[in-house]
Amino acid sequence: MAVDTLNPRSWLYPTPRGLYCKPGDFYVDPAVAVPRAVITHGHGDHARPGHHSALATPETLAIMRARFEDMPDTDQQPLKYGESVRVGEVDVRFAPAGHILGSAQAVLAYKGQRIVVSGDFKRRPDATCPPFEPVPCDVFITEATFGLPVFRHGDPAAEIARLVGSTTLFPERAHLVGAYALGKAQRLLALLRQAGYDRPIYLHGAWGTFEALLDDAIAASVPVIDAAGAVLDASDRDVAAARAALARVLPPGTIDPDGLDVDVDAPFRVALQPAA
């Protein structure tokens, strides 16, 4: 690492637009459209439309194209893990972040100093994306959404065992599982299949945006489709079958705790009453 003769804040610092790298003249995960952006992953609080130029992993760019209609207007520069590119006076490369498919830490090197911007990252194993890779650096800028000690996440395998066990204990009841459509839903499916659960799983319509992009990545690690090929969309109109299935996997905001029925005409607003 470099001798600390260079103040990191002299070349990478926060601005109203986002984290700005002066010698590279680019922003990392900017909050608004900018001339040049380096994007760590495809979630909407990090990847936004309208940039003139976007540097990201190929998978993240594919996710952005699926999400944003104006991506053809953006100069898209894919950069694979481990590759390096010179942007202005800064060498930029990506290291796996273990968060979702395509997620990366931005590794920035300038005048012998290295700064790593983590983006969202996860250190636990996840079959749907490459694992987090520690990178030696002078400065590590980390996301800390769940950094407070009050947050304690249970063991994933144990939580899945509880869910599957509940379906055995209450086979007549549907189980609703809230999971973001990008990243969390895919991880949930992978964990269920790893645990040996092979019954149909009903998916919310929001899944459709990312299905083609992410199915291959999941299937490469674990089988997502069961023997009957029955992974179904939550807008499916066979309500009786839906009630007999394990779950509908839904974005958290779509679950109506006071709902009394399945709104089959509005797949993005679903409420399910267990069968009597």
Record the tokens describing residue 23, joined without a space: 């010698």
Quick: pLDDT tens for 151-196: 888 899 999 999 999 988 988 787 888 888 888 888 888 888 888 8
- Domain coordinates of the chain in residue numbers? 8-141, 156-254
Is-contact 248 272, C-beta < 8 A? yes
Quick: pLDDT tens for 131-159: 999 999 999 999 887 888 898 888 999 99
Quick: pLDDT tens for 14-30: 999 999 999 999 999 99
For residues 145 and 197, give the distance between their C-alpha atoms in angstroms, rounded to a whole number.
31
Token match 């002078």: residue?
A: 138
Record the tokens describing residue 199, joined without a space: 């019954």
Res 238 pLDDT > 60: no
Grade residue 43 by pLDDT with cuts at 50, 70 and 90: very high
**Sheet harboring 201-203: ordered strands across?**
175-178, 247-250, 201-203, 231-233
> Average per-residue pLDDT in the chain?
79
Buried b (16+ CB within 10 A) or exposed e, 81-100: beeeeebeebebbbbbbbbb
Record the tokens describing residue 103, joined without a space: 């997620």
CA 21 to each of CA 5, 24, 26, 110, 140: distance values in angstroms, whole numbers, following the listed order:
18, 6, 5, 10, 15
Res 271 pLDDT > 70: no
Is-contact 45 107, C-beta < 8 A? no
For residues 134 and 118, give the distance between their C-alpha atoms in angstroms, rounded to a whole number.
10
Grade residue 270 by pLDDT with cuts at 50, 70 and 90: very low
Q: What is the pLDDT of residue 5?
A: 77
Q: Quote the DSSP letter at residue 135.
A: -
What are the DSSP calls for 10-67, one per residue? GTEEEETTEEEETTTTEEES-SS--SEEE---SSTTT--S--SEEEE-HHHHHHHHHH
The CATH architecture annotation of domain 8-141 reads 4-Layer Sandwich (3.60)
For residues 70 and 64, give the distance between their C-alpha atoms in angstroms, rounded to a whole number.
10
Q: What is the pLDDT of residue 29?
A: 97
